Every structure is written in C-alpha cells, then in structure tokens.
Structure 1
Amino acid sequence: MHVDEGQAVTEGQRRRVAPLRRLLDQIGVQNVSLLIALALLVALVGSQDANFFLAANLRSIGTAITITGLLAVVQTIVIICGALDISVGSIAGLGSVICAMAFEATSDNPVLGVGAALGVGLLCGLANGAIIVVGRVNPVIATLATLAAFKGVAQLVSDGRARGYTGADDVFVFLARGSVFGVTTLIWVLAVVALGVHVMLKTTDIGRNIYAIGGNDTAARLAGININKYLMAVYALTGVVAAVAGILITARTGSGQPVSGSEGLELEAITAAALGGCAFKGGKGTIAGTLLAVLLLGVLSNGMTLLGVNPFWQNLAKGGLLVAAVVIQQSRSGERRIGLPT
C-alpha cells in the first residue's frame, strides 16, 4: 500500500509529540509555567548575586517557606471545596501563643504544649466550619470575622506580647534547627503534611468527593455526598495544620508570637494556592502546583532581600502576583467578567 510522504512525516511527528504531550499532561500546564518562571527567577537572582547558590542560603529558603507552605497546602483543600479560609494566619498566631504558654505552665512539658496548640487549632477550625455550615455564612465573611476574633484572643491571653520561652527545650530546638538525613526538620514536617494531603486528594474517595463538591455542589449532593460534614472536616483539618504552623513559629522564635510571627500569612497562603492553579470557584487545584508556587514566592522574597530591595516592595510583588493569577484564571475559564463590557 502506498503511503504519501507527507502522511508519513505527519505520523512520525505525531509519534514524537505524543510522549511529550503525556509528560505535560502529567506535570500540568500550570506547573510547567511555574517551573519556567522559577527557572528564570533563579537565573536572574543568581546572576546578580552569587551568594544565592550557597548551600546556607538555599537551606534558608527551604526553612523560610515551611510555615507558608503548610498553610498553603490546607488552603488548597479549602479552595478545591469552593470555599476560602482567611483566618489561617490568626489561628497560627493563637496556636503559637497557646503552645508557649502551655509549655511554661506545665513545667516546660513540650508534649502538653504541642497538644494544647493542636487542640486550640481544632476548636478554631470547628468554629469556622460551624459558622459556615450552621450559620449559613459565606466562607469569606465568616473567616474574615474569625481572622479578627482569633487574633484578638491571641492578644488577650498574651497581653499582646511574646510569651513563654522554648529556646532551651530539646524538642523545640530539634523542630527549629534539627535535621534528618541532612534535611532540616521543618522541611520534613512540610513534606509529610503535603504528601499526606496529596495522597488523600488523589487516591481516596474523600479526595474525589472534595473535588466533586467544589466542581458542582448540587450534583455532589444528589450523589449522596454530605457536603456539610465535608466542610466541617476540611475546616477542622485546616485549623489543626494552622496550629502546627504556629508550633513551628514558636520553635523558630523561641516564644509564643500572638501577631508578629503570623501577620500576612493568610495572604501568602492564598497567593500560593492561586498561583499553583487553584480555581476560586472550586473543583480544581493540586498540591504539587501549590508547593511550586510557595517555592517561587520564597525565591522571590529571598532574592529581593539579597539584592537589597525595600521590604515593602515584597508585599507589592505578592499582591501583584495574586491579581495576575486571578486575571489569568478568569481569562482561561471563559466566564463573564465583572465590570463594564468592553
């Protein structure tokens, strides 16, 4: 049978392109964009300051992104559900204070300090879930209110100042500066939490139901999924992981930080989730994409510090990235945009 030369060339090109397309599908277009942006940023900062590539600086970046990474991972679950949690930074601050104060009040018992923080985080998460589910309050409004409320509680119990001292305790020192197989403990904590959430989302019925709720809550309800129960569980998990972030803040600073250690963390977590491909309408997002975005933000912050850029520009850059991520999402979704028609 005669095969046209043009057809043979096309078939050969198709065979070569197919593996590349499968690879891109596995990685995700959004993640490829983040990898390119990260590579360009690393090249730019590295060309301006060779200290960027020093092992100590790379470890510093890894340590710095841990707390934001934890909050961004659980923020990803919330956004996939079609909701939002603006209170994660305040829960982390409250958890930090409670951890240090409980540690001090129990004759320097780190287990009780950590347990108290986790318990408070769970209660905060359940409170958020109850306001949203039982009170039928919009998640943005509900968690905006608890952002202020939890911050107020942290300031009240601590008199608005750092409390306790954990800098001499072996457990907290190990959390802050220890390492396992040459990798700092902080990064291991982030890796374990991120891997656990990734496995849950991708391989379990719970994860598939979370995507279903965010994708189409009406269809999910008709399929027999108890949406209220899932929302309560997701916010409870978010509170617990935010408390873990607070415990790490206490370990790093050596004391409970009601506000200073957690200020602005909610914006960073939401920005990372949005940059990582989470759709604010729900039903879309990956842990891998979020972690890449967290790393991108960490490199950006570190690079600006190395280059002597005014710290205030860092907040401007993060806000600009959030706006850009949302605009790109809106353009890709094809939905009607808010505002005057053009």
Structure 2
Amino acid sequence: MLNLKVDTEKNGTQPVLNVAKNILIKSETLIILLVMVIILSILSPTFLHPQNLINVVRQISVIAIIAMGSTMAIITTGIDLSPGSVVALVGVVTATYAHSDSQLLLAILIGLFTGAFAGFINGSISALGKIPPFIATLGMYTAARGAALIFSDGRPVTDLSHGFEFIGGGYILGIPCPIYIMIVTGVLVHILLKHTKFGKHVYAIGGNTQAAVVSGINVERTLIYVYSLAGLLAGLGGIILTSRLDAGQPTSGVGYELDAIASAVIGGTSLSGGIGTIGGTMIGALIIGVLNNGLDLLNVSPYWQQILKGVIIVGAVLLDKIKNKK
C-alpha cells in the first residue's frame, strides 16, 4: 500500500513538473526581458518613466515589423538579408508620391507593392532558380540599395504631406501610430502562421522539406509567398520610417536586416527551421530595444552596445543549439 501511494504521488507530480518546465522554456525570452527591465529600472530611475517606455516601443516598431518577415523566412530554413535596402528603396519611391494628401493612398500602395515585388524576386530566384536564400537576398541587398540611390539621385526626397507624416509621427490617444501598426500587423501575421493552411505549410517546409514535398505541398510557391510577404513587411517598415524621418532617405535602413534577424533568433526562432513565433519575435525586438535604451540612459558607449548585442545574438544561437540537442 505504501509503495502504491508513493507511485501515485510520483505519477501525479510528474505531469505538473513537466508542465512547469515547458512553461519556463517557452517563457525564457519573456523572463530575460523582465529581468532586464528590473535591472535597468534600478540602475536608471528614468527608465520606467511612461514616456520613455513608449519611446522604446516606438523605436522598435519598424524593426519588429521587418522581423516578422525574417521570422517566416528563417522558419523555412532560409534567411533574408535584403530588408534594410528594401526599406530605403520603398522610402524614396513612396516619398516621391507622398507630396499631397490626395495621393496618400496611392503612395502607400506603390510603396507596399515595391517591397512585395522585391521579395517576390528574392523568392523566385531562391525557389525556382535553386539558389540559396543567402545569395539571392544578398544580391537584392546590393541591388535595392543601388536602385534607391539611382531613383533619388542620391538625395533625400522631402516635402511630404501632413497626412503621410501622421503615419510615423502622429498619436492616437497618446500612443504613437507606429505602435498601433506594429500590434495590428503582429496579430495578422500570427493568425496567418498559426491558423491558416499557408502557415502550416511554412512550418512543414522548415521541419522537413522532403516530407513536405511528399505530402503534396508546393514548396516553390510557398517560398515565393514567404519572401513576398517578407518584402511587403519591409515595405511597410520603410513607409513608417520615411514618415518618421519626414523624408525618403536612400541611405536609411542600414543594418536593419541584422536587427530583424537578431530579433527573430533572440525570440526563439530556430535557425534549423520549423520553429518560431511572432510573439517571440516581438519580445526579441523589445529585448534589443530595451538594451539599447537602457545603455543610452546609462551613458554606455555605442561601441560597447554593439559588442553586447553581438554577445546576446551568439548566446541566443547557442541556446537554440542546446535545446535542439535535447
């Protein structure tokens, strides 16, 4: 009877321990974010000021939106190195048509189409040409930046309409518009990945491409859709950034692709493919934003900030490798 009681207690306790363990594993990035917030709030009382917190979220809104596209690409075991250049190209193209409020919708649609078309080229070259995404998107990284400089003649495109400026610089109920755009976009992309056939295909390709082919999934078409959506999201980020800068800058977006990839990886997206969530990516972007803001408040040199960011990225990848081995 005693043995039976002990076994029952063990059997009853084990599932609880497993559930607790799974919750901790899935929430590790959120725990890291909370720890960072606590530490920075102690070191700098200004950090928890509501206006500062709003600024942090506004500053990471563009990166977070771009990172959603990077997340989809990484889930398929791919990579996208072109978002920063696409942001610049979309910025100058959109700014060219955003001089009056009457053309505001046209300017936005042209900008989104430009981003999606750049992504379509990436996906087509990679999926149909059987060229590794690293090379395909590296080509777009260079070409889009050159196209932005040619289109704008190397100069900023200014004199934007007030309606366009509101997209990146306006407030609704005291909250900056980019934050609303980021949240709505995040919800839509999350639904797309988690609750549609397309999303299941994306995860299937990342989990086992050969098995996805055997199961009847059109891998090439799905990859073209993934990179087109990544380009569309980079285009949306470019529109917001251009509005905030009040000019289409052909040199803008430098390094954004790296921050986007870092946000995805820190947020738990596996470079091995098949694993990743939009919620995790947004938390990853927040971690980068909180780190940058906190170190600025503490007057830490920007050079040291880059080193710390690099350490965090490598640490996230090592953690991913350890989890995969387990």
Q: TM-score with structure 1 length normalisation?
A: 0.89
Matched letter for residue 44 of structure 1? I
User: Number of matched residues?
Assistant: 326
Query: Residue in 1 aligned with 2:323?
Result: 332
Structure 1: how far apart are the matches of 2:70 and 2:24?
Answer: 20
Pairing 1:280–2:275 present: no
- 8 Å contact kept, 1:74–1:241: yes
The verdict on how the C-alpha distance between 1:23 and 1:159 changes in structure 2, with shifts beyond 3 A counting, is farther
Q: Which runs of 4+ in 1 moved over 4 A?
A: 1-5
* In 1: Cα distance, 2:228 partner to 2:167 partner: 27
- Alignment partner, residue 126 of structure 1: 120
SS at match of 1:61: helix
Q: 1 CA distance for matches of 2:267 and 2:225? A: 23
Q: Structure 2 vs 1, CA of residues 174 and 215 (structure 1 numbering), >3 Å: closer, same or farther?
A: closer
**TM-score if structure 2 supplies the norm length?**
0.93
Q: 1:197 to 1:28 in 2, by over 3 A?
A: farther
Map of 2:82 onto structure 1: 87
1:215 matches 2:199: no
| Counterpart AA for 1:132 | S
Query: Within 5 Å, which residues of 2 pair with 1:311-322?
Result: 311-322=302-313
Q: Which amino acid in the other structure matches residue 128 of structure 2?
A: V
> Could you tell me which amino acid in structure 2 is paired with residue 228 of structure 1?
E
What is the identity, as a one-letter code, of the residue corresponding to 2:109? G
CA displacement at 1:28 relative to structure 2: 6.4
Contact 1:66 1:187 in 2 (8 A): yes
Counterpart of 1:338 in structure 2 is: none
Question: Structure 2 CA distance, aligned partners of 1:220 and 1:11?
Answer: 37
Which 5+ residue runs of structure 2 have no aligned equivalent? none
Q: Which moved more, 1:237-246 or 1:129-138?
A: 129-138
| Separation in structure 2 between the aligned mates of residue 2 and residue 47 of structure 1, nearest angstrom | 51
Give the whole-Å Cα distance in 2 for the aligned partners of 1:285 and 1:47. 32
3-state SS in 1 of match to 2:96: helix
* Residues 168, 241 of structure 2: 8 Å contact kept: no
For residue 103 of structure 1, give the secondary structure of its aligned residue in structure 2. Answer: coil
- In structure 2, what is the equivalent of residue 339 of structure 1? none
Q: Partner of 2:106 in structure 1?
A: 112
State yes or no: 1:48 paired with 2:35.
Answer: no
Is 1:147 aligned to 2:138, yes or no? no
Which whole-Å CA distance do the structure 1 matches of 2:20 and 2:216 have between them? Answer: 35
Q: Name the CA shift for 1:48/1:2 in 2 (closer, same or farther; >3 Å).
A: closer
Q: CA deviation at 1:97?
A: 1.0
Residue 97 of structure 2 aligns to a residue whose secondary structure is helix
Matches of 1:308 and 1:208, distance apart in 2: 45
Q: Give the superposition deviation at 1:210.
A: 0.7
Choose which of 269, 291, 299 in structure 2 pairs with 1:300: 291
What is the CA distance between 1:320 and its match in structure 2? Answer: 1.9
**Is the contact between residue 304 and residue 314 of structure 1 (CA under 8 Å) also seen in structure 2?**
yes
Structure 1 residue 70: Cα displacement: 0.3
Matches within 5 A, 1:23-42: 25=22, 27=23, 29=25, 31-42=26-37
Distance 1:317 1:83 in 2: 26
Q: How many angstroms apart in 2 are the aligned matches of 1:12 and 1:220?
A: 38
Asked if structure 2 preserves the Cα contact closer than 8 Å seen for 1:99 and 1:114, the reply is yes
Residue of structure 2 in register with 1:247 after alignment = 239
> Are the equivalent residues in 1 in contact too, given 2:88–2:148 (CA < 8 A)?
yes
Aligned CA RMSD, in angstroms, stands at 2.1
Q: Secondary structure at the match of 1:161?
A: coil
Give the conservation status (yes or no) of the 8 Å contact 1:24–1:32: no
TM-aligned CA distance change 1:24 to 1:289, over 3 Å: farther
Superposed displacement of residue 159, structure 1: 2.3
Deviation at residue 172 of structure 1 after TM alignment: 2.5
- In 2, are the aligned partners of 1:268 and 1:318 still within 8 Å (CA)? no
> Which amino acid is 1:61 matched to?
V
Paired with 2:12 and 2:219, the residues of 1 have a C-alpha distance of: 49
Residues 255-266 of structure 1: pairs in structure 2 closer than 5 A: 255-260=247-252, 262-266=253-257
- How far did 1:323 drift? 1.5
TM-aligned CA deviation for residue 246 of structure 1: 0.3
Rounded to whole Å, the distance in 2 between the matches of 1:158 and 1:96 is: 10
Mean Cα deviation higher: 31-40 or 264-273: 31-40
